[in-house]
């Protein structure tokens, strides 16, 4: 009951801050950020307590973060500290060793089913998916749970893997981590044209901008599909927090090269619309 009440409070507060933004942004130049790829895993906890994480958010202009962790206790801890800013995702790894075996481990599915009963999560993931495992029993279970709870599957996989998910679970929203890490804009464009339930997160894609100059092919893609992209930091190891502010400064360099309306969608509006209030 406590988690359900917190979730309702969190949803109201995030939606209120979303709708209040246009007035507050009218006179400001810095676009707020919805960081769609934050991890707060066990090695981080002793170095960066929740207060320190929120301070980094403030320094980077990150108003909201979609957070997952290994184990999930880190996500819950951050959410309890700042339910108006933290959007919980359920990572299926109880320990890092689960990362390589989870698709064949039915106990993972039971674990995820039980954790989802907290009622706070907006997605399952980020999970690492080999392309040939989209039809495993565990992944099928994730697809069923995503439909049941109305939540997102957040996959770190290549273009073949994400297309396998989209074909297998056509009614489920799929968030594609890192735009596949190395998929060229032409491949991303083809998949976005073909699948309306695909959304793309852009962390660790150094090819989007060089020397702070937005790549022309990526710019064309953002202009074509402005409602389908989000930015993220991917704090997958503790040292990534040292670069957290710089990561978001770099995003703003190329976001400022887009029309303001499109930059705002990629920076925060898509995350709020697709994840918080779909």
Interval 126-179: pLDDT, tens: 999 999 999 999 999 999 999 999 999 999 999 999 999 999 999 999 999 999
pLDDT at position 23 is 37
**Sheet containing 229-230: order of strands:** 123-128, 152-156, 174-176, 198-201, 229-230
Q: What average pLDDT does range 234-258 have in this prediction? A: 97
pLDDT given for residue 276 in this prediction: 82
Q: How confident is the model at residue 11 (pLDDT cuts 50, 70, 90)?
A: low
CA–CA dist 49, 238 (Å, integer): 12
DSSP string, 117-137: TTS--SEEEEEE--GGGTTSH
- Whether the per-residue pLDDT at 185 is higher than 70: the answer is yes
Position 10 pLDDT exceeds 90: no
Q: How far apart are CA 38 and CA 179, in angstroms?
A: 16
More confident residue, 276 or 230: 230
Contact of 75 with 69, CB cutoff 8 Å = yes
Report pTM: 0.90
Quick check: 224 pLDDT over 60?
A: yes
Distance CA 44, CA 15 (A): 29
**What CA–CA distance (Å, rounded) separates 15 from 196?**
24
CA-CA distance, 276 to 278, in Å (whole number)?
6
193-199 mean pLDDT: 98
Are 31 and 264 contacting, i.e. CB atoms less than 8 angstroms apart?
yes
Q: How many alpha carbons fall within 13 Å on the CB side of residue 242? A: 4
Q: How far apart are CA 125 and CA 234, in angstroms?
A: 12
Taking the C-alpha atoms of residue 278 and residue 239, their distance in angstroms, rounded to an integer, is 33
Distance CA 173, CA 179 (A): 15
Longest dimension (CA), the chain: 52
Cα distance between residue 44 and residue 51, in whole Å: 12
- Domain parsing of the chain, residue ranges: 2-276
Report the alpha-carbon distance of residue 234 to residue 89 in Å, rounded: 13
pLDDT at 1 over 70: no
CA-to-CA distance for 41 and 35, rounded, in angstroms?
Answer: 16
Rounded alpha-carbon distances, angstroms, from residue 108 to 21, 105, 112, 138, 246: 39, 6, 6, 7, 35
Residue 278: band (very low, low, confident or very high) from pLDDT cuts 50, 70, 90? low
Task: Output the pLDDT for position 30.
Answer: 86
And the tokens for 109?
């599915």
pLDDT digit string, tens, across residues 51-82: 999 999 999 999 999 999 999 999 999 999 99
Candidates 3.30.2020.30, 3.40.190.10, 3.20.20.140, 3.20.20.70; CATH matching 2-276: 3.20.20.140
């Amino acid at each position: 009951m406590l988690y359900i009440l917190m979730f309702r409070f969190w949803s109201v507060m995030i939606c209120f801050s979303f709708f209040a933004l246009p007035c507050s942004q009218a006179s400001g130049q810095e676009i707020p950020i919805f960081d769609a790829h934050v991890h707060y895993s066990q090695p981080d906890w002793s170095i960066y307590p929740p207060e320190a994480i929120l301070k980094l958010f403030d320094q980077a202009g990150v108003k909201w973060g979609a957070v997952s962790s290994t184990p999930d206790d880190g996500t819950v801890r951050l959410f309890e500290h700042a339910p108006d800013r933290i959007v919980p995702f359920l990572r299926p790894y109880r320990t890092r060793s689960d990362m390589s075996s989870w698709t064949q481990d039915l106990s993972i599915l039971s674990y995820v089913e039980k954790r989802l009963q907290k009622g706070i999560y907006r997605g399952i993931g980020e999970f690492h998916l080999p392309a040939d495992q989209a039809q495993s029993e565990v992944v099928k279970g994730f697809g069923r749970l995503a439909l049941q709870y109305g939540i997102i599957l957040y996959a770190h996989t290549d273009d073949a893997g994400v297309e396998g998910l989209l074909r297998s679970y056509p009614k489920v929203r799929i968030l594609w981590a890192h735009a596949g890490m190395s998929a060229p804009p032409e491949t991303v464009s083809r998949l976005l044209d073909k699948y309306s339930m695909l959304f793309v997160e852009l962390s660790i894609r150094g090819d989007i901008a060089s020397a702070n100059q937005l790549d022309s092919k990526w710019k064309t893609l953002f202009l074509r599909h402005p409602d389908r992209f989000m930015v993220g930091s991917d704090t997958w190891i503790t040292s990534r927090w040292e670069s957290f502010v710089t990561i978001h400064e770099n995003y703003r360099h190329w976001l400022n090269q887009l029309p303001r309306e499109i930059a705002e969608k990629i920076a925060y509006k898509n995350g709020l619309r697709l994840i918080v209030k779909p």
